Amino acid sequence: MTAISHHIPEPMLAAYAAGNLPHAFSLVVATHISICAECRAVVEAHEAVGGVVVEDSGAVAVSASMKADLLSLLDDPIPEAPVYARSGPYPGPVVEALKGREPRWKKLGMGVRQDILAEDKHGSVRLLYIPPGQAVPDHGHNGLELTLVLQGSFTDETGFFGVGDVEVADETLEHTPIAGAGDACICLAATDARLKFNAFVPRMLQPIFRI
């Protein structure tokens, strides 16, 4: 595996640690820090700051009955929670978002496919599949977009992105990502707005494709 060279900006890691990042971005962060020690260390450092804030919070007495209730629960059997392990190119958090199933690819044209994992008013997060050598036509962004490579690679005007790398794109970036040769490029892409495609899908079709 080549070294990861494109990381997640620290304010975003801090917001993730503080639990105040939109769900779509949080999934990208959780997936990236499953494979990137550097960003995971940053998140854990911010959790240490959070821990200090808890330690220094003014104490408010808790009721004795709550403690007694809690102590009586300690011997109860622990409810089984499903554990989602890495599967192929998909780290645990992606497998969890897929609820353990294989991706259900929907064709977008030109061999490009997607599977929308989650969508709400704050944004969406999807898996994208781009055949080797295929270009995803020039597109701009309405909001912020995070793209994490899970398999293969892509290159655009800003550089090369291999497995584990994250591209952070905002309104100012108009780019044409091209998938590398070899394995198809599979990405986890999160945005807080709809993408603006210039040529790929006519604007009027966007609601249909939900891009």
Q: Is 57 in the site for another protein (CB under 8 A)?
A: yes
Nearer Cβ to another protein (95/201): 95
Whether residue 146 contacts residue 189, with contact meaning beta carbons closer than 8 Å, is answered with yes
Question: Which of 3, 5, 7, 35 forms a contact with another protein (CB under 8 A)?
Answer: 35
Q: Is 82 in the site for another protein (CB under 8 A)?
A: no
Instruction: Return residues touching Zn ion (CB under 5 A).
Output: 7, 36, 38-39
DSSP code per residue over 143-189: S-EEEEEEES-EEETTEEE-TT-EEEE-TT--B--EEPSSSPEEEEE
178 binds, among another protein, Zn ion, none (CB under 5 to 8 A by kind): none
Nearer Cβ to another protein (33/127): 33
Give exposure, 113-130, as e/b (b: 16+ Cβ within 10 Å). Answer: bbbebeeeeebbbbbbbb
Count of chain residues binding another protein (CB under 8 A):
65
CB of 64 vs another protein, minimal distance in Å = 11
